[in-house]
Structure formats: C-alpha cells, structure tokens
C-alpha cells in the first residue's frame, strides 16, 4: 500500500517536473558575429539568474540575422549595420504593418593596421590619407599626405599594398561608412555596404585573414576590428577625428564617440557614429544592434525579451569591458530604457 | 542444371562473388530494388540541387540574363553583378593545378605501382592517402605561411625565365592565381596518385609479360603497354581531381587574393566562384544579391559539367586513335 502511494507520488512529481520544464521559455535569435562573445556571455548569465528563460543565439552574420527575423524564423535578430529603409519596409509588409526596433548593445571600432619596413611606432592617419590609399590615389608610403601627418618618421618610397576583408562583414561596413563620410569621391564611386567593389587591394577572409596577409606582405595596410587587434597585440595607427586630434582607438575613445553622437541620436537608434564630434572621439566606431519586433504575440516571450533588455542595459553593461567591448554611454542607456516600452 | 550453374560462374568475376550470388538466391528482386533506390536517390538529390539553384536565382537571371556570364563588374552596393572574373579565376587556377598535378601525380603513380620495391610503395601510398584526408583549411594555412614565402623566393627566378610572357607580368604580392593553382595542385596530387596507382596495379600481369617476351625493356612495357591499358582509370582520377579543384573553397580563398578582376598575369590576385559564395553569402542582404550568389552556384555546376564532358570527349577521342 505504502509503496504504491510512494510510486504514484513519484509519478506525479515527475509529471510536475515535466510540466515545469515545458514552461521553460526558449527564445531564438540569429545575426552578427562581431558581438557573439558578448551575447553568449550575457545569455549565459541571464539564464543563470532566471533559469526558466533561455536565449539561443546563432552567429550567422548580420545579413542572415536581418533575413531570418524578417521571415519570422527567429524571435530576434542582431546586426552590425542598421537596417535600411527597404529592409524596414520589407519587414513591415510581412508583419501586418508593425515595425522592428533597433537596440544598441555594445560598440566596436576598426583600426588601420600596417606593416612598413623600419616603422615600429603608431602612425598618424588623416581622413584624406585613408581615403586616398583605399581609392588607390595615394600609392607610396612617402606620399606628402602621410609625411605631413608623421613628422620625424622615415617612411619608405615603397608601393602601398592595400588589404581589405573579402567576406561580407560589419567591420567592412564601418570602415567604408567612415570613408564615405570623409570623402565625397568614395561615397559616389564605391559607397557603403558589407561588401563593396574595392578600387584596389587584396582580400583576406576574416580579421585573421587580413592580419595574416598584413604580416606576410611588406608595405601593406588594412583595417581590422579593434578587439582582434588588442587581443593579438597588433600595432595600429591613430586616426584624425573631426576635431582635428589624432586619436588612438580604445574602449574610452570609442565610448566617447558614442557620447558625442548621443545628442543627435534619432528615436529609432539607427545612427552611424563614424566621424562623431568630440575631441576624444575615435572616428571609426560603431554600435551593434539587437533587432526586436515591435509586436510579439507570445506574452511570455515578450516579457522575457523586455526583461533581458532591461537587464542588459543595467547589469549587462558592467560585463562589457572584461571582454574588450566598449560600453554604451549613459545618455544612450537612458534613452533605450524608455524605448523598451515600445515593444507591444 | 549444370549448364545454368556454369553460366552463373562465368558471369560472376571471381569465386567469392559467386557465393554471394548464391546467398542472394531468390532475393534478386530485393537486391535490385535496394540498389536501384540507392542510385535513384543520387539522381534525385542532384535534380533537387539544380532545381533549387534555378528557382532561387530567378531574380538575378531575370535582371541580367546571359550577360551575367560575361559581365566583369561585381558591385553589391550598386547592385551590379557579373560572373566573369570568378569563372576566369576558377578555370585558370584549376587548369594550373592540373598542369602541375598531372605529370607529378601520374609519374608518382607509375613509380609506386610499377617500379618501386613493394615495401616503399606501400609505405608511401599510406602517407599519400593520409594527405588526401587533410582538411582544406590546413592546406590554406600551409599556403599562406609556407608556400607563399617559398614562392616569393623563387619568383625572381620564374620572372627571369618566363617574365617575357604575359603570364608572369606585374608585381607579385604573394597571394595570386599562381599561388592558388600551386596549392590546388598539392591538394589534388594525392587523389591522382592513389587512384592511378590502383588502376595501374590492376592491369593484368600477362600484359606486362607479353610485352617483356616481345623484347621490350621494363620501361617500354610500362609506358607503352601498362599505362595505355590503364588510360581510362587514370583519366578518371584526373576528373575527380578536377572536380575537387573546381569546387575547392577554403584553401583557395586564403591564397588567391579575393580580387574580382580579370588579369592575364598569373602573379595577379584573382577570385573563384566557390570562394566568393563562401565569403559573401552570410552577409548578403537583399534578394538580388543572394540570388546573384546562388546563380554563381548554378554557373559552377554548369561549368563542372561542361569541363567534365569536354575532358571525356577528349579521352574518348585519343582512345579511338590509339585503339
């Protein structure tokens, strides 16, 4: 008698456990690869704090993230470049007119890296020099534009070899977005995109491909993601910002760029912070965004996503620097906290 | 009864096969259906692949038509897509790989199958088969860190001898069509060797004995009798190598320079179809962009079929003359 009761109790307990685990909320997302280490840390910490909420993120690239969230195969997307008008319209068309929200999460930056014989120190680059080099107009390391910005440095008379990313990438988007802002010629001839029709240069796959090619090729210059450069101890140059100061990329100077741009932050957060104002701002910086649909029909998922955003803006921001990501400036955090209410 | 059993034994190639047939007695139909299903599934997968590539590339096909194949511009920002630089890079690197790979591969196979002592032959074959299993990313890394520095040192010598041809003009950055071709050659040689060696060894011994009996030297019997006999199998190994080099992605993208331009010089950087698809597909936004990349996949498929067909016709042609 007793054993049977215990057995039935045990069965009930197992059933109850089953039901409880069925109530676990699984939220799927996909998108940008650049913030992936940060996101997986956040989702892991968040899951520890709220064991019933589980986020699953696949770093398939920004393009894939936008596509999948538009088609509704994932609950949220992530991108390194904001969605354009056409993509926003496409989303609204497929979701009965309701839109999608951009939430900046962390920031990154691109740095100019190079290998020039006899030059060990950080070189200074003006916007004109960078645009000229990547347009193929400045072809020698001892070009007057480079000599002028680097007094006292012995630059050789060798040909400059340009290295760029061959894979479609948010890193490229940030770099060409910057070049488009500082050079009219770049904007009209090449333009912005995750892949562009490069006027000159060799393509390397990924940050590691570009870094490897720079290492192998004398007199080369390329751009790489700041975090990659820091982690691999690659020397990189300073870039002249809109206030005329040569600034080295760092977490502080990237956050300064975001703060400089915060005043003109539009309500939908779709803003490029390259060439941002402010004397401490590093000019080749960018946000990376989470893409959250305005309307989430599943109430538990909606609450989970809102809770996560609130947590990410508070506790989550404290974890960024350990992973070498620049945290959001306070003004942007405050504005985002208000925007969470837009999720219906 | 006795008559039927002799027909079976003459149809089966060897003794073990005969017992296999006997075990399957009464199960012929089953065996036929199962093997037919296996063969049909391959056709089905291939058909589905072509169908999917065709359907999903409709936007690009509608916009560019056949001019897609000959357009030189690849500009995702302006929405202008042309496949020519990628077709060119794919064909040139594969041709170079075969140019280097066929003499080395077939030569090594002849040595291993006919001339080398059995112990050395077995040990080397084992190593070569290991090489065939090395992941392509490893070949790419070896290409960047070992092969390119070596090519840099031999480049002046090549230029001194062949610099007058249009094939070796312009600056050499390390990454180039030339480097990609050499890396591909290294990758396909194990395939050529290991299959060619097997088919050369499978040439019946009485062919050799007959040639030797007629007074041929060992080399004459190998080159004039054994190799022509194994010609079809050697050609098969080359087709497999060609297919691998046309479709190779990772190793090529690491050493080719990824620059969609058409230059006659092998020292210039280039791009291949498989490499651009792998590079740009994940971040491709917009219907036209993805559909242009998918059409590139279709082009690669068609290119493989055309080149293979041409190679087969070539082999059949030489067979007719020799035979």
Verify whether the Cβ–Cβ distance B144 to A63 is below 8 Å. Answer: no
B-proximal residues of A, 209-228, CB under 8 Å: 209, 212-213, 216-217
Verify whether the Cβ–Cβ distance A196 to B282 is below 8 Å. Answer: no
B144 part of contact set with chain A, CB < 8 Å = yes
User: Do residues B315 and B238 lie in contact, with contact meaning Cβ atoms separated by under 8 Å?
Assistant: no
In which residue are the tokens 């890394």 written?
Answer: B141
> Using one digit for the tens of pLDDT, what is the confidence trace for A195-238?
899 999 999 988 888 998 898 888 999 999 998 998 888 889 99
What confidence category does residue A14 fall into, taking pLDDT thresholds of 50, 70 and 90? low
- What does each C-alpha distance from A318 to A42, A107, A311, A327, B261 come to in angstroms? 11, 14, 11, 8, 47
Q: What is the mean pLDDT of residues A291-311?
A: 93
Q: What is the mean pLDDT of residues A301-327?
A: 93
Q: What are the beta bridge partners of residue A76? A: A29
Q: Where are the alpha helices (DSSP H) in chain B?
A: 2-11, 15-23, 28-56, 58-64, 84-110, 118-132, 136-142, 148-162, 177-201, 205-213, 218-220, 227-229, 231-247, 250-255, 273-280, 287-322
Shortest CA gap B305–chain A (Å): 27
A297 part of contact set with chain B, CB < 8 Å = no
A-proximal residues of B, 277-316, CB under 8 Å: 278-286
Reduce the secondary structure of B21-75 to three states and give it as a string: HHHCCCCHHHHHHHHHHHHHHHHHHHHHHHHHHHHHCHHHHHHHHHHHHCCCCEE
Q: Which residues of B touch A216 (CB under 8 A)?
A: 144-145, 148-149, 174
**pLDDT at residue A59, rounded to an integer:** 87
Q: Which residues of A touch B260 (CB under 8 A)?
A: 197
C-alpha span between A239 and A248 (Å, rounded): 7
Q: Could you report the average pLDDT of every consecutive run of 10 residues in chain B (323 residues)?
A: 42 52 68 92 95 94 94 91 96 96 95 91 90 90 91 90 87 92 95 93 92 92 92 91 93 93 92 94 84 96 91 72 40
Shortest CA gap A7–chain B (Å): 49
Tell me the count of A-B CB pairs closer than 8 A: 94
- Name the residue of chain A whose CA is nearest to B148's CA: A216
Q: Could you say which of A159, A193, A217 has the minimum Cβ distance to residue B77?
A: A193
Verify whether the Cβ–Cβ distance B76 to A194 is below 8 Å. Answer: yes
C-alpha span between B231 and A3 (Å, rounded): 78
B28 part of contact set with chain A, CB < 8 Å = no
A38 part of contact set with chain B, CB < 8 Å = no
- Name the residue of chain B whose CA is nearest to A206's CA: B279
Query: Looking at the predicted structure, is the pLDDT value of residue A338 above 50?
Result: yes
What confidence category does residue A8 fall into, taking pLDDT thresholds of 50, 70 and 90? low
Q: Which residues of B touch A67 (CB under 8 A)?
A: 285
**pLDDT at residue A11, rounded to an integer:** 60
Verify whether the Cβ–Cβ distance A168 to B284 is below 8 Å. Answer: yes
Shortest CA gap A64–chain B (Å): 6
Angle between helices A85-94 and A62-71 (to 10 degrees): 30
């Amino acid at each position: 008698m007793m054993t049977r009761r215990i057995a039935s109790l045990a069965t009930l307990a197992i059933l109850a456990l089953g039901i409880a685990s069925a109530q676990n909320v699984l939220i799927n997302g996909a998108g940008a690869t650049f913030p992936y280490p940060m996101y997986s840390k956040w989702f892991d910490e968040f899951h520890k704090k709220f064991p019933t909420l589980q986020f699953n993120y696949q770093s398939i690239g920004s393009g894939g993230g936008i596509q999948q969230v538009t088609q509704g195969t994932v609950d949220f997307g992530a991108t390194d470049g904001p969605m354009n008008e056409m993509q926003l319209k496409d989303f609204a068309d497929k979701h009965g007119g309701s839109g999608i929200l951009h939430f900046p999460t962390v920031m990154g930056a691109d740095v100019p890296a190079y290998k020039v014989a006899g030059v060990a120190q950080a070189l200074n680059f003006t916007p004109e020099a960078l645009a000229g080099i990547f347009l193929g107009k400045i072809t020698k390391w001892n070009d007057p534009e480079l000599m002028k910005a680097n007094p006292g440095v012995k630059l050789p008379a060798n040909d400059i070899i340009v290295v760029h990313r061959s894979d479609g990438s948010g890193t490229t988007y940030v770099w060409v977005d910057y070049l488009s802002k500082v050079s009219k010629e770049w904007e009209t001839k090449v333009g912005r995109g995750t892949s562009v029709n490069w006027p000159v240069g060799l393509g390397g796959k990924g940050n590691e491909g570009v870094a490897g090619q720079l290492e192998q090729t004398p007199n080369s210059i390329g751009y790489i993601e700041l975090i990659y450069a820091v982690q691999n101890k690659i020397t990189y140059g300073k870039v002249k910002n809109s206030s005329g100061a040569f600034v080295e990329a760092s977490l502080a100077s990237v956050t300064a760029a975001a703060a400089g741009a915060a005043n003109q932050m539009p309500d939908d957060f779709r803003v490029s912070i390259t060439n941002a104002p402010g004397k401490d701002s590093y000019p080749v910086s960018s946000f990376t965004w989470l893409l959250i649909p305005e309307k989430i029909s599943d109430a538990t998922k909606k609450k989970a996503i809102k809770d996560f955003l609130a947590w990410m803006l508070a506790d989550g921001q404290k974890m960024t620097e350990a992973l070498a990501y620049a945290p959001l400036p306070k003004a942007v955090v405050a504005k985002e906290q208000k925007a969470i209410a837009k999720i219906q | 009864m006795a008559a039927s059993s002799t027909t079976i034994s003459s149809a089966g190639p060897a003794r073990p096969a005969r017992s296999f047939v006997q075990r399957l007695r009464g199960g012929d139909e089953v065996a036929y259906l199962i093997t037919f299903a296996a063969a049909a599934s391959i056709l089905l997968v291939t058909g589905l692949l072509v169908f999917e590539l065709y359907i999903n590339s409709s936007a690009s096909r509608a916009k560019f038509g056949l001019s897609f194949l000959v357009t030189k511009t690849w500009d995702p920002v302006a929405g202008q897509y042309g496949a020519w630089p990628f077709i060119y890079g794919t064909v040139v690197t594969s041709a170079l790989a075969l140019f280097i790979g066929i003499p080395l591969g077939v030569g090594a196979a002849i040595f291993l199958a006919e001339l080398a002592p059995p112990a050395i032959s077995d040990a080397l074959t084992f190593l070569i088969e290991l090489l065939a299993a090395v992941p392509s990313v490893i070949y790419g890394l070896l290409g960047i860190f070992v092969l390119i520095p070596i090519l840099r040192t031999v480049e002046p010598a090549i230029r001194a001898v062949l610099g007058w041809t249009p094939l070796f003009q312009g600056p050499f950055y390390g990454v180039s069509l030339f480097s990609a071709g050499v890396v591909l050659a290294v990758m396909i040689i194990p395939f050529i060797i290991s299959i060619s060696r097997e088919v050369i060894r499978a040439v019946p011994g009485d062919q050799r004995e007959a040639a030797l009996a007629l007074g041929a030297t060992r080399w004459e019997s190998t080159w004039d009798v054994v190799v022509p006999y194994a010609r079809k199998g050697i050609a098969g190994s080359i087709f497999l190598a060609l297919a691998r080099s046309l479709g190779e992605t990772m190793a090529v993208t690491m050493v080719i320079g990824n620059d969609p331009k058409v230059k006659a010089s092998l020292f210039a950087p280039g791009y291949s179809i498989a490499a651009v698809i792998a590079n740009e597909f994940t971040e491709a936004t917009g219907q036209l962009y993805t559909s242009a990349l998918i059409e590139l996949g279709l082009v690669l498929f068609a290119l493989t079929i055309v080149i293979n067909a041409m190679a087969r016709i070539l082999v059949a042609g030489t067979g007719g003359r020799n035979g």
